[in-house]
Each structure stands twice: as C-alpha cells, then as structure tokens.
Structure 1
Amino acid sequence: METNFLVNAVVYLGAAVLAVPIAKRFGLGAVLGYLIAGVAIGPWGLRLITEVDDILHFSEFGVVLLLFMIGLELEPKRLWALRRPIFGWGGAQVGAVTVALAGAALLLGIDWKVALIAALGLSLSSTAIALATLGERNLTATPTGSASFSILLFQDVAAIPMIALVPVLGVAAAQGSEQGLLGGLRVVLVLAGLVLGGRFLVRPVLRYIAATGMREIFTAFSLLLVIAIALLMQWIGMSMALGAFISGVLLADSEYRHALETDLEPFKGLLLGLFFTAVGMSVDFGVLFGQPGLILGLVAALLVLKTGVLYLLSKAFGVPRSQQALFAFILSQGGEFAFVVFAAAETARVFSAGVAAVLVVVVTLSMVATPLLLLFHDRVLAPRWREAKVRPADRIETQEDHVIIAGFGRFGQIIGRLLRANQVALTVLDHDPDQIELLRKFGLKVFYGDATRIDLLKAAGAGKARALVVAIDGIEDSLALVDAVRANFPDLPIMARARNVTHLYDLMDRGVTIIERETFESALRLGQQVLRQLGFGAWQARQAAHKFRQHNIASLQAVYPFYKDQDQTISMARQSREELDAMFARDLDAIKQEQNSWNDGDKPG
C-alpha cells in the first residue's frame, strides 16, 4: 500500500514537473498543463493511474483550502459591503444562464425536469479554475476579479438549494418532517458553532500554539482546523468550500492571518494542481468516442450560450470593455459542484445513468476548453482590442527652448510638475490614451505618440529643445529612444530614468551621464528615517546614508568596465560589500567615542 502511494506520488509530481513548465513556455497556462498531465497518465492515456474518483475527491480539498485563504483576505465588514454584488450579480448570472440553457433544452424536446436540473448544474462555474486564472494574471483586485469572485461565491451558496431541489423533482423518498427539522437545526447549530468558535475559541488556541514556538505544530493545527470544518460542513450537507470560506472570514482580522496563509499556501498550490490533474484523468473518452458529435455539440452549445450571457452581463457589472470577453471566458466552463448536482439527480432518478455520464464529460471538457479560450483571447482578441485603441499620433505644436518628457507615468509626472511650477516650457509625449485624457483635464499639455519615432521627435522640436527626459516604463523602449536621439539629435542633452542596475549600465553604454535609479534615492531616504526611528541622531543617520550613497556610486563606477564579465562582477561585488562593512565598522567606533557629545545636542555640522 505504501509502495503504491509513493509510486502514485512520483507519477503525479513527475507529470506536473514535465507538463506545466512546457505549457507555460508555450503560453498555454499552468491549468492546461495540469489537465494535459492528467490525460497523459490517466486511464485513457498511459494508464499509470487508475483510481481517478478517489484522487478527485481527495484533491477537492485544494479547493477547500483556496476558499479558506480567500476568506482570510476578507474581513466581515468587507464581505458585508460585497453583499449586493454577491447576491445581485451572482443571482443574475445563475438565473440568466439557467434560463438560456433550459430554454435551449426545452426547444430540443428534452423533459423539463432534466432540462432544469442540467441547466442549474451547468450554470455553475469552476471556482478552482477561475480563481487560479485570476491569480495567475494578477486580476484579483480588478473589477473583473471582483465581479468573478462575487459570482463564484454566490454559486457556492446556490449549489446547496440546487442539490436540495433534486429529490423534490425525482422519485427518491422525501425525508419526514421530523428529519427535516433535525437537519435544519443541525445546520443552524454548526454555523453558530463556527461563528462562536472562530471568535472565542480558535484564536486562544492559536495564541497558545504560537507561544510554543513550534512551527510544525502551528502548521498541523492550521490543516486540522480546515479539515475539521470541511467535515462538519459535509456532515450537515453543505459545501465544504463554503464552510472553509466562512471560517477564513472569521479569522480575517486575526493577528495570525498571515501565519496561516504562509503555512497553508504550499498545500493549497499542490492540491489545486492535483485537482486539475485529476480532472484531466477523469475525462471518459469512452463516452466521448461513443457519441462524439453529441458530446462536442453540447460542449460547444454550453460554451457559446454561457459565454454570450456572461459577456452581456459584464456590461452591467462594470467590467472594463477591454476585459469583458476575458471575464466571460474565465467563467464559461462547468464547475466542480455540477458533478455533485448530477450525481444527486442520477440517485433521485431525474437523470438516467447515460445522461449523467454525458453531462459529466461535457463539464470536464468545458474545463479543458477554458485555457484554450483564454489562449484564443490572448493571441487573437486582445491584440485586436489594442489595435482598435491605437489612434494616430497627435499633431504637436513646434516649440523652442523647451524640455521634452517622454513617458508621463508616476515618475515623469513628478518631474513635469516641478518644471511646470518653475515656468519651464514642456512638451510631454506618452502612449496611453486614457492617461493623456485624464492629464488634459488638469490642464497639462500631453501629446499621444510613440516617442521612439524620429518624425514625432522632430515635430516635438527635439532639434531645438533644451533637454530630453526619458521616463518611459519599458526598458527596451527607453533604450530605443536614446538610440534614436543619439543618431539624429546628437547635441540634445539626455537625462534618463534607470529601472535597475543593468538598465543603468545600458544607458551609460549609450553615453547618458545624468541617470537616476527610480527606487534608490527614495529607499535611501526611508532607510535614513528608519535609523532615526531606531534612536540614531539626525546627523548620524544623514552621514550613514551619505556614505552609503557615495560607496554605492563608487562601486557601480568600478564595476561598470567589467559588468559584462560575470565572474569579475561577482568578485568585485563581494569586495565592495567587504569594504562597506569595514567602513561602517570604523564609523561605529568613532560614533561610540563621540556619542556623549551628540546626546547633549552638540552635533557636528
């Protein structure tokens, strides 16, 4: 048994390590990589793993952990503030998709009970796929992420009444009124226990365990907490993921929130990967090969109808136009809870075994199709949207004796405001139409265009400008602009922003001498403030920052001739650190000797 477990672990991990990086390399995304790995090692691939159902049930715990950690990010006040989008947007999505799918099924002559339960189950989306995609694309905090999360949370809640509705429509024996009352009472007691326990029991236990200083016990309790809650929710017939989410919300304002997140993150990632792998393994190609036309037609119909409804709803949900198609694709697939709804429908004899098998394959294939739809969006729709936003460059009024600022983001704006306040004539170039319209509302003269174009630079009066400030975000665009100016306007002084040390050296290679690293000075000033907060005198902190700056600049200049020689660069960097340590050690000795006079307020210079 142990040997079999270890062999399976090797197979899962090996498949993931091989498939996911390859999928990411070709822009397919991690989720599709896991799905491909599952198909490859499953019953219809190399048959390395056959216990698909057991693995699928176990890996669903990854979804539970995911919802628990999302709950940790949402304090009760914030969750209460989201009640309208959760129930308003979520209810609209489930209702509209159900009506569209059930209506299409009824037009095909399908029994209304089958049509209704199938439509309800298919209206649910995959929490695991959607949230993983939002996280992978850094969309969680955007309007698209907020709308998606609200809908997914409502779907988790809505799955419970859907499952409860199935026996009413079937021939399964209904529970007696006494059993119904006991079940309802059990739900109320468990939910009340979660609220009270999260507030008054779990936190003292976490405090006690944290005081022991044993990190592994804290991790063990974190897992115990989530597993126990999941089992409780399963016992009362509710969603394990929903229970975990509620518990996370109750601990969101706890001082142990970050420790819980840190301990559970690795388990969540691995189990979610296992879940996607298990979904790939569970594709029943026997059913697919038996009725390929029907299955593929149903998958296409589901994706078209659901995506269309979601796209229309996205306009009402405040999703930006550029992300409306992406929002629809992210939620287009069937969800994990659809498997539960269809299993309940088969047990209650609303579905035949054949209908249930077909619908399970449809849901699974829709999950597999989601990364492909996202790839289609990235490769086809997104570029067209960007092209549609492109407009001709603005006509620029030729100026003389002015300063050109290329790039007017946060960095360029500070420079521009300073120069404008001192009556310096400006010509500002930027390539973001939305940014330009916003800045023009505040009376700033900003022109749209690609600053690396020679004709645009000539129109901007580069030949008669006093200076060019390169504040472009992109490193490659920044260097291309410097190259263009050096070739065509060799006498124009260039002052540039460097994103990092490599960018600094690239600018120095091009003869730019006035360069500011965008984070260095601000970080140095904050470090000086930290020294003051720790009790260092003002002069002492200022001198420490000044010496660090001088040493850093000298080190950069010393390394510059050799920066393309990696071994030499590493050696010189090590030597520089040793010199810096020795210099600060000497300073500390001197400071100790003069500490008394500084404390009396007689500080040098």
Structure 2
Amino acid sequence: MTTTIRNLMTEYFVYAFIYLAAAVIAVPIATRCGLGSVLGYLIAGVVIGPIIGLVGDETSSIKHFAEFGVVLMLFLVGLELEPKLLWKMRNRLLGLGGLQVILSTLLVMGIAFYFVDHWATALTIGLILSPSSTAIVLQTFNEKGLSKTTGGKNAFSILLFQDIAVIPMLALIPLMALPELIEKSQQLASTAAQQNEHLSLVAGLPSWAYALTVVTSIIAVVSGGHYLSRPLFRFVASSGLREMFTASALMLVIGIAALMSLVDLSPALGTFLAGVVLANSEFRHELKSNIEPFKGLLLGLFFITVGAGIDFNLLYSDFMVILTLTLGIILLKATVLFFLAIIFKIKNSDRWLFALSLAQAGEFGLVLLSFTVQQHVLPSAMAAPLSLVITLSMFLTPALFIFFEKVILPHHQQTSNRRAQDKIDQTGSVIIAGAGRFGQVVNRLLVANNVPTVVIDHESSMIDRLRQVNVKSFYGDVTRPDIMRTAGIEQAKLLIVSIDDKIRATELVNYIKHTHPQVKILARAYDRGHYYSLAHAGADYIISETYLSAVELGTQALKDLGFAQDNVTNLRHKFMNAEVKGSRSLYKIWQESSSEHTFDSDYQQLFIELEEELSEIMDENES
C-alpha cells in the first residue's frame, strides 16, 4: 500500500514538473513575441500533449483540478464589484449582456435545428455556445491594458451577465432531458453507479425539492458571506499570522465551491456571488492579495490542460467540419456583438475590440456541455465534437487579439490622424499645446480668471471629449507652422507646452524660440532628462509633472509625523531652494556630458554629492 502511494506521488511530481516546465519555457517566449501568455499556455499544452505525448489520460483529472483557477478568478472578479456598482451597470448588464445571450442562443439554435431532430437539443447547443471565455478575455485585457477602454468595459459587462446567466441555464437544462437518453441511462445505471460514485445532496430529489435546495444554498452563500465572514476574518487577523489569513481565504473559497458542487451547481458561480457580497468588506484587499498568486498559477494550468486535451484524432477525422463549425461560431458571435456595438454606440476601434474579444465560446460552455451529458440532454457522440469546437475557439482567441492590435487598431489610428485639421476661429493671449490632464487644469484656471486661451491637441478623441463638456478646443498638430500662425502665435504672450510626446514638445519649444522669441514659453517636463532638453531648447519656465504635488504630499507627511508648522514651512523652503540650485549644477554637467545629453558618471557623482549636501542643509535646521 505504501509503495503504491509513493509511486502515485512520484507520478504526480513528474507530471507537475512537466506542466510547470512547459509553462516556464513557452509563456515567456510567447510574451516576447507579442502573442500573450494565454496563447503561450495553450501552445505549451498542445506540445506536451498531442504532439510529444508527455501527458495523456491524466489531463482530464488535472483539468478538473485546474478549473479551480477559474473559480478563484471569478471570486476575485466579484470582489471588485460592489452591489452599488452592479446597480449602476444594470443598463449595460441587462441590455448588452441580455441581448448578446438571447440573440446568440437563438441564432445558434436556429442553425442547429436543421441538423438535429429535437428543438430541445438545438436550444441546448445554443445555450452552451452563447457564453464567452471569461478566463481568457480578462487575462488578455489585463496583460494588454485594455480593461479601461470603452470596448473593454462593455465586454466586461457582457462577461458578468454571462457568468450570472449560467445559473438559470443550469436550472433549465435538466427540464430538456430526452426520454431515449434517460432510458438508455437507466439500463446502465447499476454499472455507472459502481464506476462513478458522485457525492450529491440533490441526487434523486424531485424537481421542487431540487429547486428549494439550490435556492437555500445560494441564500446560505450570500447571507454567510455578509454576516459570518467578517467575524471570522477579524478572529483570524487578531492572530497576526499571515499564513492563517491565507488559509482562511482558501477555506472560504473551497467551502463555497464544495457546497455548489454538492447541489450540482457551478462552483465558479457560487464563489462569484460570495466575492460580490464581500466587495464591501474591509478585508477585501487582504483577500485579493492572498488569493491572486494561486489564481494565476491554476489559471495557467487550466489553459495548458485545454491545449493538452485537444483530441487530434477526432480533429483529423472531421477536420473541415470542426474547423467550419469553429469559424462559424466565431463569425456568428462577432456579428451579433458588432451589431450590438452599433446599437449601443460603441465607436471606432472599441467596437472591433468588443466584437472580437467575445467571439469565442468559453469554459462555462465546457461546464454546461458536461452537465447536459449528465442530465441526458445531449448524447456523448454529439458532445465530443462540440467540446472540440469550444476548445478550438478558445485557442484562436489570442489570434483575434493579435489581429485587433496589428490590423484594426493601426487602421483606426491612421484614420484618426487623417482627420482634417480644425479651422481655428479664435485667438488668445495664451496658447495651450496639449489638452491632456495637465493642460486641462491650466486652461480651467486661466479661463476662470477671464484669460482668453486657445487649446490645441493632435488627439481627436481628446478634443471630442472636451467639446462634450463645453470646453472649446481645436484638433491640430501644434508643430506645424501654419497651425500656430492661425492660432495667433504672433500676437500671443504665452505658449504653454503640455504635449505628452517629449520629442515633439522639445521640437515645438525650439521652433517657437527661434521664430517667435517674444513669446514666453512655459513647459511641463516628464522627468529630469526632459527638463534639461526643454531648457536647452529655450523654455523660459519648466515644471516637472509631479514635482509640486510630491513636495505638497511630502510637506503633509512631515506635519502628520509631528513636525511643527513653522519648522515644516522652513524645511519646505530650504528643500525647494536646494532643488533649484542643484538642478542648475546638474544641468551644466548634463550639457557637457556628451552630444547626446546622456547621464554619464560625472552627472551621477554630482547627483550623489548634491543629495548629501541636501541632507546637511536639512540637518542645519535642527541644530
């Protein structure tokens, strides 16, 4: 017995090493090639599974374990959603999400009805293929910084609705069981019972009792998360042991997942509800930091098992059929999403991001597919190719994101750049080049004091947003001489440069100083190097972007630490004087360092000396 257990452990250690080694090799390579980590995990699974054959029959068992990564991910998603936020999102949740699920389901059902004998089977296929992959989409959004875009926010709303919609789907599917499949299952019941013992609280219950048990379980999760979790976490936190908080967080998630499994519901949905309930908890950030590492690792393992689980024999035997079905599903869902994007006025590249990111089937489709077989709704012979279609659509999703990045996004950026320059029909004593957050604050201050300004920016989307709040601004390239002449540079007193592009900002300062030296230039710098470049170009006054706010925050920190008010004022004054003096010295060294104006060893040495001198100046105050 001991030898058997030891051999089993050794086997799992070997498989764990294979999976981790595949991830460590494939994911960094895929990320460096711009393919994203998800595609790296999928490729790793294909290589170690169907291609090399290092893993095989155990993939299904490991996949069930890896699905816990999806459970953890939805718990973390729930933690980010306060009930008030969900209420604010209700229009997008019910509108976008509801229409996407209904339209996708009905269209797939209509097509499937031509190939199957029963409407219930066609409807089930539609329900299975309507959800998208929350795991892949959110992971890719986070990696590529797309979560805050309009397309990303609307896609997130649909993903939330899909996750919630799986609950009624799970309740509806058993009602569509086919009599012939039930009869066949009853004939094999004794054998199945011996081979597959399934822990369940609802096995054999009538429909009304099953529904009551499910509702009770959901109420228990919600009420327990609200009333019992806080005393538990306070008790654990009082111990001061971080590992105990990690253990309690995992205990909570695993317990909810186990409860949902016992009532034949998706564990991920239960943990998602628990996360939403705990979104207002004071322990939310601690929970997130403790669970995040487990989520990332298990989610990666889930993607590997998806790749390793592709049945290439079935794929080869029906390649054209499965490929056609996969591409057809992606095209159909993308068309529905694009149509909804038009209705809900999602514009430009965000419309394409919205449509392409959600065009695949998802991991909940695999869950629903397995459930339909268990509930005698779909035969196993039909479930196998559907499972492959779902998997392949998930596998192709990173390619859709690459298509968006390499083709769609550059096209829309070029279209935006081809927009005709606005005709500037006003002049002012101050021209503000750059309408970002820095330029907007400066403009508001001047306009509030009745100073006429002309605001110009080369990003059309920024100009459009400002016009929506009645801030008059113009689209144009401030580095073009004709634009500056039209804006009234010859009569202007000040030019405020707050362009995001450091090179263009420096070129603009240099040009204006040479052609219109009477105009005083005030410029915003990103860092020291940009500061020196602007000074070298001739800017009259330069302020580092974060300098004053950092000094203000540091001043407040001294006050909160108990420094006397007069002492704090004196220290602030000394610090700022020392900064001005030190900056001049550093600028001279920077000018002499090289033709490329880089930071050489002399500059670094002077910087160290000035920092030591700064400490001495501050110490003088105390003495």
TM bracket, shorter-chain basis: 0.7 to 0.9
* Partner in structure 1 of residue 434 of structure 2: 407
State the alpha-carbon separation in 2 of the partners of residues 423 and 250 from structure 1.
50
Summarize the Cα distance change of 1:398–1:76 in structure 2 as closer, same or farther, 3 Å threshold.
closer
* Partner in structure 1 of residue 39 of structure 2: 32
CA contact (8 A) 1:139 1:145 kept: yes
**1:147 and 2:154 equivalent?**
yes
- Measured after TM superposition, the shift of residue 433 of structure 1 is 3.0
CA deviations on 1:330-367 (whole Å, 9 max, x unpaired) are: 21111112112222334455444332221111111111
* Partner in structure 2 of residue 448 of structure 1: 475
**1:169 and 2:169 equivalent?**
no
**1:366 and 2:393 equivalent?**
yes
Q: Secondary structure at the match of 2:422?
A: coil
Q: How does 1:109-508 map to 2 (within 5 A)?
A: 111-141=118-148, 143-167=150-174, 168-170=176-178, 171-172=181-182, 178-317=205-344, 319-348=346-375, 350-389=377-416, 390-396=418-424, 402-420=429-447, 424-437=451-464, 439=466, 446-462=473-489, 465-485=492-512, 492-508=519-535
Query: In structure 2, what residue type is equivalent to 1:135?
Result: N
* Partner in structure 2 of residue 596 of structure 1: none
Further displaced range: 24-33 or 122-131: 24-33
CA contact (8 A) 1:24 1:30 kept: yes
**1:59 and 2:66 equivalent?**
yes
Further displaced range: 349-358 or 126-135: 349-358
Summarize the Cα distance change of 1:545–1:2 in structure 2 as closer, same or farther, 3 Å threshold.
farther
**1:102 and 2:102 equivalent?**
no
CA contact (8 A) 1:143 1:318 kept: no
CA deviations on 1:78-110 (whole Å, 9 max, x unpaired) are: 334545543443332211101111112234566
Percent identical residues: 43
Summarize the Cα distance change of 1:246–1:422 in structure 2 as closer, same or farther, 3 Å threshold.
closer
**1:47 and 2:74 equivalent?**
no
CA contact (8 A) 2:509 2:538 kept: no
Q: Secondary structure at the match of 1:63?
A: helix
CA deviations on 1:524-545 (whole Å, 9 max, x unpaired) are: 1233234334443332222222
Unaligned runs of 5+ in 1: 591-605
- Measured after TM superposition, the shift of residue 461 of structure 1 is 4.3
State the alpha-carbon separation in 1 of the partners of residues 410 and 225 from structure 2.
47
Summarize the Cα distance change of 1:447–1:82 in structure 2 as closer, same or farther, 3 Å threshold.
closer
Q: Secondary structure at the match of 2:539?
A: coil
State the alpha-carbon separation in 1 of the partners of residues 583 and 25 from structure 2.
40
- Measured after TM superposition, the shift of residue 291 of structure 1 is 1.3
Q: Secondary structure at the match of 1:251?
A: helix
Of residues 585, 596, 604, the one that matches 2:619 is 585
Query: In structure 2, what residue type is equivalent to 1:169?
Result: A
Summarize the Cα distance change of 1:348–1:235 in structure 2 as closer, same or farther, 3 Å threshold.
closer
CA contact (8 A) 1:147 1:317 kept: no
Summarize the Cα distance change of 1:77–1:437 in structure 2 as closer, same or farther, 3 Å threshold.
closer
Task: Give the aligned length.
Answer: 587
CA deviations on 1:461-520 (whole Å, 9 max, x unpaired) are: 445543422111222332343354456556654321111223223323434352101111
State the alpha-carbon separation in 2 of the partners of residues 47 and 317 from structure 1.
47
Q: Secondary structure at the match of 1:495?
A: strand
Q: Secondary structure at the match of 1:359?
A: helix
- Measured after TM superposition, the shift of residue 218 of structure 1 is 1.0
State the alpha-carbon separation in 2 of the partners of residues 188 and 163 from structure 1.
13
State the alpha-carbon separation in 2 of the partners of residues 146 and 100 from structure 1.
25
State the alpha-carbon separation in 2 of the partners of residues 150 and 384 from structure 1.
26
* Partner in structure 1 of residue 580 of structure 2: 553
State the alpha-carbon separation in 2 of the partners of residues 573 and 442 from structure 1.
45
CA deviations on 1:399-442 (whole Å, 9 max, x unpaired) are: 6x943321122222333344445665543321233443554577
* Partner in structure 1 of residue 593 of structure 2: none
**1:564 and 2:598 equivalent?**
yes
* Partner in structure 1 of residue 24 of structure 2: 17
State the alpha-carbon separation in 2 of the partners of residues 90 and 481 from structure 1.
47
Further displaced range: 224-233 or 405-414: 405-414
Summarize the Cα distance change of 1:314–1:58 in structure 2 as closer, same or farther, 3 Å threshold.
same
- Measured after TM superposition, the shift of residue 131 of structure 1 is 2.0
State the alpha-carbon separation in 2 of the partners of residues 54 and 505 from structure 1.
61
State the alpha-carbon separation in 2 of the partners of residues 348 and 269 from structure 1.
32
State the alpha-carbon separation in 2 of the partners of residues 441 and 52 from structure 1.
54
State the alpha-carbon separation in 2 of the partners of residues 155 and 403 from structure 1.
51
CA deviations on 1:571-596 (whole Å, 9 max, x unpaired) are: 444444443334333423x4xxxxxx
Summarize the Cα distance change of 1:254–1:293 in structure 2 as closer, same or farther, 3 Å threshold.
same
Query: In structure 2, what residue type is equivalent to 1:79?
Result: L
Query: In structure 2, what residue type is equivalent to 1:408?
Result: A
CA contact (8 A) 1:156 1:239 kept: no
Summarize the Cα distance change of 1:208–1:299 in structure 2 as closer, same or farther, 3 Å threshold.
same
TM-score, normalisation: structure 2: 0.85
- Measured after TM superposition, the shift of residue 165 of structure 1 is 4.0
CA deviations on 1:146-170 (whole Å, 9 max, x unpaired) are: 4333332332333344344444332
- Measured after TM superposition, the shift of residue 549 of structure 1 is 2.0
CA deviations on 1:382-404 (whole Å, 9 max, x unpaired) are: 232333344211234596x9433
* Partner in structure 1 of residue 85 of structure 2: 78
Q: Secondary structure at the match of 1:516?
A: strand
Further displaced range: 492-501 or 124-133: 492-501
RMSD: 3.0
Further displaced range: 315-324 or 97-106: 315-324
Further displaced range: 428-437 or 57-66: 428-437
